[in-house]
């Protein structure tokens, strides 16, 4: 055991930086694990070793911010450091990479070490890719779900039922939670909704909600907000509810992957941990969605229901149309503005209103609020009567946002480019995946003004020169990046007499 002086490094990363001479004394090489002890607080972290003796003064250990959250150093305290062996999970990750079946104990160890920040980004990615390529069977998915819940906190409500919804994502513009949750709560049900940030998309529900209210709350706060107004829409990554989830999503996001077993566990762990009794799952089906055929969607629905049975939750799934974006907007401000307009009774796209009403309607029927077959109409009634809007205002307020927020407070980015129809004809294809790539290149979801507004949708007739969609960005270099992606991907196909024109010169005239 070696004693060094702790120095907090103002870098949002995990690990500890050691002077190469101290590393030699401790007996570790760059990348090895060390245990760090600050009085009663301990953690295991990866050591990074300086290549010169002067980069970090000998006798000092530089602790990165993520690791310091466990040690809580202010700087200048003496900390004890010793070498420890490689994490136990690495053998289990290797087992999955070799197509093995993981036990409950092995899964629990992997998840515990992810939550404790013991595993390095490379090891977490190896685990994810192992599960992506070799899959997880239903036992392994149940172990993963239980482990994700056991490593965090659970909510416990005195009155039931607790109703929840979740979308598997994969379709752009899917802002339905901003309508579905207030409808469910306006019907008198409790819905403590936790959402993730974008995984494969250009804006997850947590990203969207954050534009109008804080979303980072503890499990206790989520419970008390739900008890007070009936519901809330928060970011799962801040709650300590299934805390492994967000740490896993962090490595799925750049790869744009959402492995089947991880997705089931991620969604259902969040439902189980909030104590949900009744759950509606939205499964968008479309050529460029996560689920490409109805058969695949039915199989996934059965998996969700089986997992629900094993965990004691009643699950119903809706296979929804995922060929085209939902509504006419993609990206944070554009999507939230579209949802707020509908809540305020202004006109909005049918695809968004109908989908939200169908999903909320299933929840109302499951909870016995209405007879079977009457859910959609009842949900629409709650939406058009303004009751869902009043409820959304309460939810925004209880989360610390401004309940008077309107669509006008959420402007699209100033830098824009409109793509016009090259020919008269029909919009025969909208490639969802390409639209997401373009929106992300424009800066979504980090830049709230970034995204795409669709003037036309699949199947609509356009005249030559009609605007088809506008890309918005907060920064001009981001807009240029988005245009490069657009030229490469050609996300919209208008079919008239001309099948294609190379290069597509409709990308050439910027409109501001
Ligand atoms: O980025 P992609 O992969 O599209 O999906 C991720 C989104 O889907 C789910 O939506 P919700 O929480 O049910 O609204 C997640 O929580 C997240 O917001
Ligand atoms: O919350 C979610 C949604 C989709 N996929 C996941 O892995 N988690």
Q: Which sign does the torsion angle of CA 321, 233, 107, 250 carry?
A: positive
pLDDT mean across residues, the chain: 95
Q: What is the DSSP letter of 260?
A: H
Query: In this structure, which ligand is nearest to the CA of 242?
Result: 2
Cβ atoms 444, 451 nearer than 8 A: yes
**CB-based pocket (< 6 A), ligand 1:** 166-167, 169-170, 177, 195-196, 198-201, 204-206, 258
pLDDT of residue 359: 97
Question: Whose alpha carbon is nearest atom 6 of ligand 2?
Answer: 263
Over residues 274-296, the pLDDT tens digits come to 999 999 999 999 999 999 999 99
- Three-state DSSP class for residue 121: helix
Q: How far is CA 312 from CA 33, 255, 262, 304, in A?
A: 39, 33, 19, 12
Q: Which residue has the tokens 């007739």?
A: 461
Tokens encoding 154 = 């659970």
Cβ atoms 277, 163 nearer than 8 A: yes
State how far the Cα of 270 lies from the Cα of 313, in Å rounded to an integer.
12
Which CATH class for the 2-84 domain?
A: mainly beta
pLDDT of residue 505: 60
Q: Ligand 2 test: best mutation among 128, 145, 169, most atoms within 8 Å of CB? A: 169
Q: Ligand 1 test: best mutation among 163, 164, 168, 169, most atoms within 8 Å of CB? A: 169
Q: Could you tell me if the CB of 201 is within 6 A of ligand 2?
A: no
User: Has 414 been annotated as catalytic?
Assistant: no
Gap from CA of 276 to ligand 1 centroid (Å): 18
State how far the Cα of 248 lies from the Cα of 254, in Å rounded to an integer.
11
Over residues 69-123, the pLDDT tens digits come to 999 999 999 999 999 999 999 999 999 999 999 999 999 999 999 999 899 999 9
Q: Residue 235: beta bridge partners?
A: 195
Confidence of residue 429 (pLDDT cuts 50, 70, 90): confident
Residue 161: asked if its preceding bond is cis (omega within 30°), the reply is yes
Q: Residue 232: beta bridge partners?
A: 192
Q: Could you tell me if the CB of 267 is within 6 A of ligand 2?
A: yes
Q: Which residue has the tokens 């941990």?
A: 273
Over residues 135-152, the pLDDT tens digits come to 999 999 999 999 999 999
% of the chain at pLDDT higher than 70 = 97
Exposed, middle or buried, 445 (CB in 10 Å: 0-12/13-18/19+)?
buried
State how far the Cα of 500 lies from the Cα of 503, in Å rounded to an integer.
9
The structural architecture, per CATH, of the domain 411-507 is Alpha-Beta Complex (3.90)
State how far the Cα of 386 lies from the Cα of 373, in Å rounded to an integer.
22
Question: Whose alpha carbon is nearest atom 5 of ligand 2?
Answer: 263
State how far the Cα of 350 lies from the Cα of 262, in Å rounded to an integer.
32
H or E element at residue 179: helix 177-186
Tokens encoding 469 = 């969609």
Cβ atoms 32, 57 nearer than 8 A: no
State how far the Cα of 229 lies from the Cα of 504, in Å rounded to an integer.
52
Give residue limits of the domains in the chain: 2-84, 89-135, 163-259+266-402, 411-507
Question: Whose alpha carbon is nearest atom 10 of ligand 1?
Answer: 167
Query: In this structure, which ligand is nearest to the CA of 282?
Result: 1
Question: Whose alpha carbon is nearest atom 4 of ligand 2?
Answer: 168
Cβ atoms 4, 22 nearer than 8 A: yes
Which of 195, 356, 366 is closest to 278 using CA atoms? 366
Residues 6+ apart with CB under 8 A from 151: 108, 111, 112, 115, 242, 243, 244
pLDDT of residue 35: 96
Gap from CA of 299 to ligand 2 centroid (Å): 17
Which CATH class for the 163-259+266-402 domain?
A: alpha beta
Query: One of 22, 207, 245, 258 is an active-site residue; which one?
Result: 258
Domains 163-259+266-402 and 411-507 share a fold: no
Tokens encoding 472 = 């918005």
Q: Ligand 1 test: best mutation among 195, 325, 444, most atoms within 8 Å of CB? A: 195
pLDDT of residue 498: 54
């Amino acid at each position: 055991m070696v004693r060094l002086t702790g120095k907090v490094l103002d870098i949002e990363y995990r690990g500890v930086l050691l002077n190469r001479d101290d590393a030699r004394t401790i007996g570790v090489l760059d990348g090895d694990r060390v245990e760090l002890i600050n009085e009663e607080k301990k953690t295991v972290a990866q050591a990074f070793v300086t290549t010169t003796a002067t980069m970090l003064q000998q006798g000092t250990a530089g602790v990165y911010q993520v690791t310091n959250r466990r040690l809580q150093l202010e700087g200048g305290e003496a900390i004890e450091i010793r070498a420890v062996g490689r994490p136990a999970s690495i053998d289990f990750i290797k087992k999955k990479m070799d197509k093995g079946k993981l036990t409950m104990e092995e899964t629990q160890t992997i998840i515990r070490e992810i939550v404790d920040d013991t595993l390095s980004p490379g090891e977490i990615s190896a685990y994810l890719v192992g599960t992506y390529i070799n899959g997880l069977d239903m036992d392994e998915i149940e172990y993963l779900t239980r482990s994700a819940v056991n490593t965090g906190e659970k909510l416990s409500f005195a009155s039931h039922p607790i109703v929840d919804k979740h979308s598997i994502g994969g379709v752009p513009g899917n802002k339905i939670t901003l309508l579905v949750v207030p409808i469910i709560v306006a019907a008198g049900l409790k819905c403590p909704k936790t959402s993730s940030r974008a995984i494969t998309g250009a804006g997850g529900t947590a990203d969207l909600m954050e534009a109008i209210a804080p979303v980072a709350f503890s499990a206790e706060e989520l419970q008390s907000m739900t008890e007070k107004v009936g519901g809330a829409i928060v970011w799962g990554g801040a709650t300590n509810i299934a805390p492994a989830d967000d740490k896993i999503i962090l490595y799925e996001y750049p790869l744009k992957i959402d492995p089947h077993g991880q997705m089931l566990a991620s969604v259902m762990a969040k439902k189980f941990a909030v104590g949900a009794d009744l759950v509606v799952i939205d499964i968008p089906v479309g050529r460029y969605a996560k689920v490409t055929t109805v058969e695949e969607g039915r199989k996934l629905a059965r998996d969700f229901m089986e997992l629900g049975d094993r965990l004691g939750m009643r699950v119903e799934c809706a296979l929804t149309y995922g060929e085209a974006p939902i509504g006419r907007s993609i990206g944070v401000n554009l999507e939230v503005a579209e949802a707020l307009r509908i809540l305020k009774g202004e006109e909005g796209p049918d695809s968004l209103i109908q989908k939200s009403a169908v999903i909320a309607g299933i929840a109302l029927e499951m909870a016995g609020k209405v007879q079977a077959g009457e859910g959609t109409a009842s949900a629409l009634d709650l939406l058009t009567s303004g009751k869902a809007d009043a409820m959304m205002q309460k939810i925004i307020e209880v989360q610390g946002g401004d309940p008077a927020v309107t669509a006008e407070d959420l402007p699209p980015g100033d830098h824009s480019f409109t793509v016009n129809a090259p020919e008269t004809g029909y919009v025969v294809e909208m490639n969802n995946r390409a639209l997401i790539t373009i929106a992300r290149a424009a800066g979504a979801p980090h830049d709230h003004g970034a995204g795409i507004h669709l003037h036309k949708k699949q199947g609509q007739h356009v005249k030559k020169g009609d605007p088809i969609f506008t890309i918005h960005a907060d920064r001009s270099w981001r807009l240029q990046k988005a245009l490069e992606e657009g030229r490469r991907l050609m996300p919209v196909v208008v079919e008239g007499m001309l099948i294609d024109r190379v290069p597509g010169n409709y990308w050439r005239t910027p409109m501001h």
